Every structure is written in structure tokens, then in C-alpha cells.
Structure 1
Amino acid sequence: MNIIIWNCRGVLKPSFKKRVGDLVQNHNPAILVVMETRVGGDKAREITNLLPFDGAIHTNTIGYAGGLWVLWNTDRVEIALLSKTEQEIHTEVKVRLTNLSWILSAVYASPRNAERQVLWENLMSVADLHNMPWVIAGDFNEPLLSEDKFGGRAVSVNRSLLFKECLDKCNMLDIGFAGPRFTWSNRREVQALIQERIDRFFVNPSWCVMYPNAKITHLTRCHSDHCPVLLEMQPRIQNGRSRPFRF
């Protein structure tokens, strides 16, 4: 089973529907998390009704900013909403063929630092409420390490430490990735180029036990300045991979 997360930078662009169709055709995700949709309410439901998924959860936008959707195929997974805010959607996922269950927290962290701190606090609170296998995935809008950024200002040590504290409290692991290092680019000429790895999957140890061969791939950037990120729980080709990294 596959999951894709993608910051699409707006779903009203003409190429959005076609790009989602391409992702579905090429990677067959059971779950698609779409971030920074900039659309909520009835318009969001109108758009997701046209996509190849029959389950959907939407968050409210903040004016014309933000927006987070979790889309899925009900014949492959059963998803129950646990809670949501403008920056997060917490769900319980039951995989129909295997009868396995785990928590999926989809996030779109605010570009504003103060609001991101609220998200970190919320995630740490969720960690105290369950002991299930857990995936946290989305656009965190914060590089975690200095090597997660190229160009521009250096990564803020204070902000990255707060991010790491959240991941430690949630007992999260980074299981590595294949493909280009950075998931976002400002697409400028090299003198002004900034790139960051901010679109990510994190998993806890009990989720790793269920899916020991899981693989993450940064896909080709298209339509947006963010690339889609693919999680394959049972990849078809098993490549050598490093051990999970704990923060």
C-alpha cells in the first residue's frame, strides 16, 4: 500500500487534476494528503468529488492560505477522523486486506513560527493519548538539520531544536529517502537559489515493526515548487537502506 503527500500550492490551477491523475496512475496511492490547497468548504468538496478517491477530510483555510486534505480509497482503507485543526488532521487507518490499524497525522505547518509552535505542542499532546503505530506526514515548513537546506539564511538552531524536541516526544524515526535531497525549491537562478527538505514522513518504532521494508521516495517536481513524496509500505524492489535515524 502506498501514501503520497504533496504540497500542490493551490488546487485551482488547471494542471492540478491531471497531475493527481498521473500520480494515481504511476504510484497507485491508497491515501493522498494534499497540502496548501488554499480552498475549503463547499468548493473543496466540489473539487475532491472529481478526483479518483471516494473518501475525503478537509480542514478550513485561513483566509486564502493553508488548507489540508486527506483523500483515500474506501475499498482499500477505512479511515476514521479523530480530530483536526487548521494545521493537522489526525485519523485512525485500518488497512482492509491486512486488518492492521495505525494512526496517521497529516500536517501542514504554518509558515509563521508562533503557529508552528502550537502544532508541535498539539503533536506532543497526541503522543500522550495513544500507544499505537503512528505516522506523521506533511509539510513541516521547518528544516530539521543544516543539511536539509541549501542557500539563503542558515537553519535556525533554536527552531530546529524545538522541532526535534517534538519528534523525540512523539518517538519518531526518519527512515531515509531515495531521490533528490530537497523537496522544495524557490526555483531561482543559482546565485539566489534556496532549497529545503521540509515535506516528510516520520514513523514510530511500532509502525516500523509492522512495515520493516517501507521506503520513501522524493518524486519528480511538477506543477508546484514542492515535489510529491511517496511512502511505499511494501516496495516491489528491495534496495539496501540505512537503519532508521532517531532524533
Structure 2
Amino acid sequence: MNIIVWNCRGALKPNFQSYVRELVRNHNPGIMVVMETRVRRDKAKEITDRLPFDGAIHTETMGFAGGIWLLWNSDRVEVVQLANTEQEIHVEVKVLPTNLSWIFTAVYASPRCVERQVLWGNLSKVAELHNLPWVIAGDFNEPLIDEDKFGGRPVSMARSLLFKECLDKCNMVDMGFNGPKYTWTNRREVSSLIQERIDRFFMNPSWCLLYPDAKISHLTRCHSDHCPVLMETKPRGQMFLTRPFKFQSFWLSDPSFPSVVNQAWRQPRKLRDAIDTFAHQASLWNKNHFGNIFHKKKRIMARLDGVQRVLASEPSASLVSLENHLIKELDVVLEQEKDLWALKSRINWMVLGDRNTSFYHVSAITRRKRNLITAIKNEVGDWLMRRGKLLPISGRVS
């Protein structure tokens, strides 16, 4: 199961909902924590009801700042709320279908030191109440060591020691990360650039024994000054299976598609051969004509990730400028992708609404999630999730 935590710096931004769906498509989280939403609890439900999750817990904002949303999918996990404050949400998580249970705490630490100390005290008290596997994740607004910060004032040893003392009382460990070094930046010119690693996952030893292969990744930062942080409890390689040919109805709306059909049927041939030729040529056309949008987005994201990695170690004015240019280029590609998702949703947008609404993204994602098989139950009732065990069974039922 995957978990994503992300300080979005405002859930009312135009691209917030589309980016959450993007994260869900790419990383399939069972739980997602969104921090610093800046949306009052009575308005939060209106937004989370439009996101691809069916469970949600919201905290109140701290004035015009803060706010935590803990979102989940009930077909993946069972979540029981235990307690929450403006800076924390504590829940018990049961992962389906394994039935492994543990405590999960989502955190958005206040930017004010005095209020963070209240949070450290609360976490220390929670540690005294249980001995279960436990994960604490979120934006802690406090670097731990000098290596967690670039630029600006030095890390405050007094404040970081209070943070470390809390982690020690909770018996927490940092499992490291992959990706760019820092999770937050002020996105200033290089002379005044500040970067910090303040968005993190911490686990106690009992949890580490449950998931010894768990992996933490800092994802590409593009819609906030914080990057999303991904935890994969069981990272695995992608399964590259041959997909059967499937005709896409949105092809009919493209003016170049008739030429693909004509070319496949141009020469006299048997029906079976003509169908095979059309399937092959249509697949290539689809990949080159529509697939380039996704490939272009991946290339931009890869370049953005590379720039942010270098920016973390060797900041320069040219890199800051390049990062801003790539973010603008990404926004253009995302607009193009919206058009494609509207077609892929298999809905006539002229009948059902504005093409820029979130309706099409949701319908396409829902269809994909419905078709996704993550586990198969064998003859004796055991759930199989590993590729080596799944392939023989899938071969028997195909």
C-alpha cells in the first residue's frame, strides 16, 4: 500500500484537484494526507467529495492557515479515527486484505515554535498510550540537522533538539529517501534561496518489521513550494503485460483517423488480416498521435526532477530560471492533457457539461480503478499479490 503526504499551500488553487488526481493515477495511494489546505472544515467536504477517495477526516484551520485532510479508499484500508487537533490526526489503519493494523499520525506542525512544542508534547503522550506499530508523517516545519537546510539562517540547535527529543520518546526512526534532497523551497533567486527537508515519514521499529522493504520518495515539486512525499510499503517493479487491442471511441473525433482506416483496408485481403493490420496501425497511430502528450509530460517532469536535484546541491540563477520555465511548460501540457481526458472519459462533453470540469477526470479514473486487479484469490482462499504467483492463475482464467 502507498501513502502520499503533501503540503499543497492552498486547496482552492485552480490546479489542486487535477494534481491530486494525477498523483493518484501515478502512485495509487490507499491513504493521502493534504496539509495547509487553508480551507475551513465546513467547506472542506465540498472539495474532498470531488477527489478520488471515499473517506475523509478534516481538521480546522489555524486562522487563515493550516488545515489537514486525511483521505483514504475504503476498499484498500479501514480507518478508525482516534483523536485530532489542529496540528495532528491520529487514526488506526487496517490494511486490506492482509488485516495488518497500525497507528498512523498525520502532522502539520505550526510555523510558530511555541505551538510546535505543544505538538511535540502531544506526540510524546500518545507514545505512552500504546505499543503498536506506528507511523508519523507530514510537514514538521523543523529541520533536524544542518544537512536538512540550505541557505538562510543556520538550523536552530535548541529547536531541533526539542524535535529530536520528541522523536526519541516516540521511538521513531527515519528510513531515508530517494529523490531531491529538500522538500521545501522559497523559490527565490539563488542569492536568497532557502531549501529545507521538513516533510518526512518516521516509523517505529515494530512498523519497520511489518514492512521491511518500505521505501520513501521525494516526488517532483511542481504545484506548491513543497514536494509530495511518497511511501511505498511494498515497492515492486512494474508488470509489463501485453494488452489486447481496444478500440477507443474518442479516435472518431480526430480528423486524421479516417486515413488510418483507409490505409488498413486499401488492399484486398482477408477479413482477419485486415482486422490485424488495422489493430496494428491504429495502435501505432494512437501512440504517436495521442501518446506524445503523456511522453512530453514525463520528459518535462524528468527534467524538472533533475533540475531540482542539482538545485539542492549547486544552486544557481540559471537553474532557478530553468525550473520556473519548466513549470510553465508543464502547465501548458497539463491543459492539453485535460482535453485528452475529456475524450477518454467516453462521455459527450457537449451534452454533459463544460469540458474543463473535473467530471471527465473522475469518470476515466473510476473506469481504470474498476478494471485494476491488484490481487487474486486462489482455490484455497488465499489472496495472491506477487507477480510470480499471479501470472499462472491469470493464464488459467484468460
- TM-score (normalizing by structure 1): 0.95
Q: Please give the residue correspondences for 1:104-143 in structure 2 after superposition, counting only pairs within 5 Å.
A: 104-143=104-143
Give the C-alpha shift of residue 218 in structure 1. 0.1
1:159 lines up with 2:159 in the alignment = yes
Match of 1:30, SS? strand
Equivalents in 2 of 1:229, 1:221: separation in Å? 10
Give the C-alpha shift of residue 48 in structure 1. 0.2
Q: Please give the residue correspondences for 1:1-247 in structure 2 after superposition, counting only pairs within 5 Å.
A: 1-237=1-237
Give the C-alpha shift of residue 40 in structure 1. 2.0
Which residue is equivalent to 1:241? none
Spell out, residue by residue over 1:150-202, the C-alpha distance to the aligned partner (whole angstroms, 9 max, x if none).
00000000000000000000000001100000000000111100000000000
- Computed over aligned residues only, the root mean square deviation of the Cα atoms, in angstroms, reads 0.9
Of structures 1 and 2, the larger Rg is shown by: 2
Spell out, residue by residue over 1:66-121, the C-alpha distance to the aligned partner (whole angstroms, 9 max, x if none).
10010000000000000000000000000011110000000000000000000000
Letter in 1 for 2:59: T
Spell out, residue by residue over 1:214-246, the C-alpha distance to the aligned partner (whole angstroms, 9 max, x if none).
000000001100000000000014xxxxxxxxx
Equivalents in 2 of 1:155, 1:32: separation in Å? 29
Equivalents in 2 of 1:96, 1:23: separation in Å? 21
Letter in 1 for 2:165: E
Structure having the larger proportion of residues in helix: 2
Give the C-alpha shift of residue 203 in structure 1. 0.2
Equivalents in 1 of 2:214, 2:37: separation in Å? 27
Where relative contact order (Cα < 8 A, 6+ residues apart) is larger, the structure is: 1
Equivalents in 2 of 1:218, 1:98: separation in Å? 27
Equivalents in 1 of 2:4, 2:223: separation in Å? 15
Equivalents in 1 of 2:151, 2:63: separation in Å? 30
Letter in 2 for 1:216: I
% identical aligned pairs: 74
Equivalents in 2 of 1:41, 1:105: separation in Å? 19
Select between 48-57 and 35-44 the one with higher mean Cα deviation: 35-44
Aligned residues: 238
Give the C-alpha shift of residue 62 in structure 1. 1.6
Equivalents in 2 of 1:173, 1:201: separation in Å? 9
User: Any gaps of 5 or more consecutive residues in structure 2?
Assistant: 238-398
Match of 1:69, SS? strand
User: Any gaps of 5 or more consecutive residues in structure 1?
Assistant: 238-247
- TM-score (normalizing by structure 2): 0.59
- Give every structure 1 segment of 4 or more consecutive aligned residues whose post-TM-superposition deviation is greater than 2 Å: none
Letter in 1 for 2:115: E
Match of 2:163, SS? helix
Letter in 1 for 2:99: N
